[in-house]
């Protein structure tokens, strides 16, 4: 912290990134140098904060939960940003796997406007990088849902329910992280003393990105719920097929069992037992009963293949997805079924 004042007097804009929140003494000394408000420092230490923007006199405090790519499943890490006249101070717990590397590279190599712009623009660029970091996460979840939809339609299994519940939990966490960022960006657009009119246009563009993310998340949540219902319907249809098959078999064998039971009785006087053509005619009668019942069931349409069975055979034969299935779900998210467009960026 003792090296910070000379840096502030030497450079036009200074970005100080504090990595690791376990050293309480370091946090206290940094807060004393910049005169951070105690309530803001409490929010820095409490990493369960929602996205928000709070003005503290001549400085602004921003909280932006950012996706953490170092973990296998979706997780967020709190990024705390303090913006002053010519400095930006950020606090984060684990720098590895964050989405700020693109901003660091631009500053090191002098690309874009970040290195030559004032401190509020750097704060906006950090928030925009956090928002853009959610798009790969959302796209990955969308691809998982497309694969699950194809598997559920082709061959529903019990483990699909557990996978769908896991995806729905991830989408819920994603929604909780993204939803408050809309209000935070709206608050940023109202800070006329900090963000210029030109910069507020960029903040509005970032707000549009958040709205688009929310639309995709809501679409994926609806799709996950629909897949659970489709899975249950497919399992019920399969159970109905099994019950129908067993019912047909039992119905066919009912008259056969009755005929066999009649001639299996231990009565001494049964003329057909001594008749030469008794056995062949009995067998022919059984075959006629079975064939007649099969013909009757066929005429009634009870032996027709089920909708799910026909759909699965069509999928295996043509290798296409059914109407309203995964293909249409992907089109609903990406627009027209084409490859997803990367998020639009303002000039930097």
Looking at residue 304, which CATH number applies to its domain?
1.20.58.340
* Position 54 confidence tier, pLDDT thresholds 50, 70, 90: very high
6: Cβ–Cβ under 8 A, 6 or more apart, which residues?
A: none
Q: How high is the pLDDT of residue 264?
A: 79
> What angle, rounded to 10 degrees, do the helices at 134-154 and 119-132 form?
10
Question: Considering the domain boundaries, does residue 126 fall inside one?
Answer: no
Domain that holds residue 269: 240-334
- Whole-number pLDDT of residue 316: 44
The verdict on residue 90 lying in a domain is yes
Given 59, 77, 105, the domain boundary residue is 105
Helices (H) then strands (E): counts for the chain: 12, 5
Residue 152 backbone dihedrals phi, psi, to 5 degrees: -65, -40
| Residue 52 Cα to chain centre, angstroms | 24
pLDDT one-digit tens code per residue, 202-228: 999 999 999 999 999 999 999 999 998
CATH of the domain at 63: 3.30.460.20
Pairing mode, strands 76-83 and 87-92 = antiparallel
Instruction: Output phi, psi for 17, to 5 deg.
Output: -110, 110
Is 271 within a domain? yes
Among 105, 127, 159, which residue terminates a domain? 105
Q: Is residue 181 part of a domain?
A: no
- Does 81 fall in a domain? yes
Instruction: Judge whether residue 169 has pLDDT over 70.
Output: yes
Distances (CA, A) of 222 to 217, 229, 272, 303, 329: 9, 11, 68, 35, 10
Beta bridge partners of 92: 19
Q: Tell me the mean pLDDT in the region 137-154.
A: 90
- Looking at per-residue pLDDT, the higher value among 45 and 304 belongs to 45
* Average pLDDT, integer, range 49-65: 93
In-domain check, residue 86: yes
Q: Which two tokens stand for residue 85?
A: 């006249």
Count of residues making up the chain: 348
Condensed to tens digits (0 to 9), the pLDDT of residues 69-110 reads 555 667 888 999 999 988 999 999 876 667 888 898 888 888
Write phi, then psi, for 324 (nearest 5 degrees).
80, 10
DSSP labels, 312-324: HHHHHHH--PPTT
- In the chain, the number of structural domains is 2
Q: What is the largest CA-CA distance in the chain?
A: 122
Within-domain flag for 12: yes
d(CA 2, CA 33): 8
Domain boundary residue, one of 105, 131, 161: 105
pLDDT tens by residue, 278-323? 788 888 998 999 999 888 888 888 776 544 444 444 434 434 343 3
Does the pLDDT of residue 338 top 60, yes or no? Answer: no
Residue 317 covered by a domain: yes
Q: What is the pLDDT of residues 101-142, one digit of tens each?
A: 889 888 888 887 888 889 999 999 999 999 999 999 999 999
| Position 333 confidence tier, pLDDT thresholds 50, 70, 90 | very low
Q: Which of 111, 104, 118 is nearest to 195 (CA)?
A: 118
Average per-residue pLDDT for the chain: 82
pLDDT of residue 70: 52
State the pTM of this model.
0.71
């Amino acid at each position: 912290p003792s090296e910070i004042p000379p840096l502030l007097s030497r450079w036009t804009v200074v970005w100080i990134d504090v990595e690791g929140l376990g050293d309480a003494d370091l946090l206290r000394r940094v807060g004393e140098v910049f005169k951070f408000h105690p309530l803001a420092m409490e929010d820095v230490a409490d990493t369960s904060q929602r996205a928000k923007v709070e003005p503290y006199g001549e400085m602004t405090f921003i909280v932006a939960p950012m996706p953490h790519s170092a973990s296998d499943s979706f997780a967020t890490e709190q990024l705390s940003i303090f913006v002053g006249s010519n400095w930006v101070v950020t606090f984060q717990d684990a720098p590895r796997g964050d989405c700020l590397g693109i901003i660091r590279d631009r500053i090191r190599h002098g690309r874009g406007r970040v290195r030559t712009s004032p401190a509020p623009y750097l704060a906006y660029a950090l928030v925009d990088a956090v928002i853009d970091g959610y798009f790969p996460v959302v796209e990955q979840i969308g691809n998982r849902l497309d694969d699950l939809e194809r598997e559920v339609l082709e061959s529903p299994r019990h483990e699909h329910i557990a996978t769908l519940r896991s995806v729905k939990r991830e989408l819920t966490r994603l929604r909780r992280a993204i939803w408050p960022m809309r209000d935070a960006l709206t608050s940023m657009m109202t800070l006329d003393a900090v963000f210029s009119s030109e910069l507020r246009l960029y903040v509005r563009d970032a707000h549009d990105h958040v709205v688009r993310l929310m639309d995709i998340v809501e679409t994926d949540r609806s799709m996950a719920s629909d897949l659970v219902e489709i899975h249950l319907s497919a399992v019920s249809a399969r159970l109905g097929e099994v019950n129908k098959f067993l019912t047909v078999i039992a119905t066919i064998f009912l008259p056969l069992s009755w005929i066999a039971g009649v001639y299996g009785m231990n009565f001494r006087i049964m003329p057909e037992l001594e008749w030469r053509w008794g056995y062949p005619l009995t067998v022919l009668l059984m075959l006629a009963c079975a064939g007649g019942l099969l013909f009757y069931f066929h005429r009634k349409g009870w032996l027709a293949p089920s909708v799910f069975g026909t759909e699965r055979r069509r999928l295996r034969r043509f290798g296409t997805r059914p109407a309203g299935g995964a293909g249409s779900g992907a089109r609903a998210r990406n627009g027209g079924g084409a490859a997803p467009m990367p998020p639009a960026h303002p000039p930097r």
